[in-house]
Amino acid sequence: MKKFLMALVLSLVVSASCFAAGASSRFAAEEKAADALITALIGNGGTYEQVSKSFSPALKAKLDAKQFAAVQDGIKKQVGTVKNPNFVLLNKQYDLQKGYSGVDELVYFGTVSKERFARIFVAFAEENGKPVVTGFQVTPIEPAKQQAAPAKK
Q: Is the pLDDT of residue 147 over 80?
A: no
Q: What H or E segment, with its residue span, contains residue 122? A: strand 117-127
48 dihedral zone (left: phi>0; alpha: psi -120 to 50; beta): alpha
CATH of 2-141, one of 3.40.50.720, 1.10.10.10, 3.10.450.630, 3.40.50.1820: 3.10.450.630
Cβ neighbours for 69, distance < 8 A, ≥ 6 positions apart? 48
pLDDT for 125 equals 94
Q: Is the pLDDT of residue 65 over 90?
A: yes
pLDDT for 33 equals 96
pLDDT per residue over 125-146, tens digit each?
Answer: 999 889 999 999 999 998 776 5
Cβ neighbours for 135, distance < 8 A, ≥ 6 positions apart? 59, 121, 122, 123
Among 2-6, 92-96, 102-106, the range of highest mean pLDDT = 102-106
pLDDT per residue over 13-31, tens digit each?
Answer: 544 444 444 568 899 999 9
Cβ neighbours for 107, distance < 8 A, ≥ 6 positions apart? 87, 88, 89, 90, 91, 119, 120, 121
CA gap 124, 131 in Å, rounded: 6
Q: What H or E segment, with its residue span, contains residue 103? A: strand 99-111
Q: Is the pLDDT of residue 106 over 70?
A: yes
Three-state DSSP class for residue 36:
helix
